[in-house]
Amino acid sequence: KKGIPITLSLVYLCVAARVGLPVEGLNTPMHFLLRVVSKNLPAASTVYIDAFSSGKVVSEDEIVDTLRGQISIQQLRDLPPASHEDICSRMLRNLVHIFAQADEPSCTMTCVSQLAEVDPGARAQLAQEVQLFRMTGRTRILKP
């Protein structure tokens, strides 16, 4: 178990797609999860997978507890699947955070510029990051 939840989940998503299993990513706060999608399953029996915990099947209650109440069971059920853009954006935000903590401004700014391409909605915040970097040589830590 090495890496961050989203990268491990991406491996699961790719393998599932390859073998024809209906699995989608979920952009939950602080943790990226997987949901098995089947029209034959009622909402109450939807299967959730935590790739970071060795692919453990987790209940809705466990997810709400793990996320410290930042999401309700109903919000979890209603959460749309993460798009490819959502996944790329989240991965880049994670990298910005990691590189900023490691005091790697060049890598941080490379990820910031890539994030601006993937997530145009984040451009204003990212422009502030670039300005801060130009003025100080340092960046704030963006929340992933």
The model scores a pTM over 0.75: yes
pLDDT tens digit sequence for 31-84: 899 999 877 766 556 889 998 888 899 999 999 998 887 888 889 989 999 999
pLDDT, tens digit, for every residue of 85-126?
999 999 988 888 888 788 887 888 888 888 888 887 777 777
Q: DSSP readout, 80-133?
A: PPPPHHHHHHHHHHHHHHHHHHTT-HHHHHHHHHHHHHH-GGGHHHHHHHHHHH
